[in-house]
Amino acid sequence: MNGTPVWEVLASKAQREVRQAQQQLAEAQLRKDQAIEREQKLDQLLIEYAERLNSIQRRAHSTNEAGNYRNFIIQLQSIKSRSSAEFESLDTACKNARQDVMLADQERLKIERLVERAKEQRQKERDQRESRDAETESMIQFNLRARLQR
């Protein structure tokens, strides 16, 4: 047995790992994009409620009403802070997933080169065997001709 199936199995496995790493990267990127959208919505809410608070403070208002807006803005800022931390975490996850894809792809390329090298080696051995067989056949024919000519 010539080991080729082993290389092909390894190449198939490496390809599967690349696809899996790409899928993980896509999922991480999707989560990161969703976090960006959430942050943008929070920014919009912060702007909107800060403007509402300013408009309330320009007119006659109760301290309770302004306090409610302030409390809500504080809660939004707290959520924004957590959202920023989540974004950083997701960004790191994306970078790690990108690195995993790159490493898996390098491994796949390495194995593909080894598969190609094994195929070339098999072809070389096949060519050498055919050459030896042809030489043997030629020698047999030469010897038969030599005997027939005597």
Question: Whole-prediction pTM value?
Answer: 0.70
Question: Of 5-14, 15-24, 65-74, which has the strongest mean pLDDT?
Answer: 15-24
List pLDDT tens digits, range 64-115.
Answer: 888 888 898 899 999 999 999 999 999 999 999 999 999 999 999 999 999 9
pLDDT band for position 4 (cuts 50, 70, 90): low
Distance (Å, rounded) from C-alpha 104 to C-alpha 110?
Answer: 10
pLDDT of residue 137: 93
Segment 107-145, tens digit of pLDDT:
999 999 999 998 899 999 999 999 999 999 999 999 888
What's the CATH code, domain 4-149? 1.10.287.1700
Determine the pLDDT at residue 85: 92
Q: Are 101 and 18 contacting, i.e. CB atoms less than 8 angstroms apart?
A: yes
Query: Does the pLDDT of residue 2 top 70, yes or no?
Result: no
For the CA atoms of 113, 115, 121, 127, the dihedral, rounded to the nearest 10 degrees, stands at: -110
Question: 21-66, pLDDT tens digit by residue?
Answer: 999 999 999 999 999 999 999 999 999 988 988 888 888 777 888 8
Domain boundary assignment for the chain: 4-149
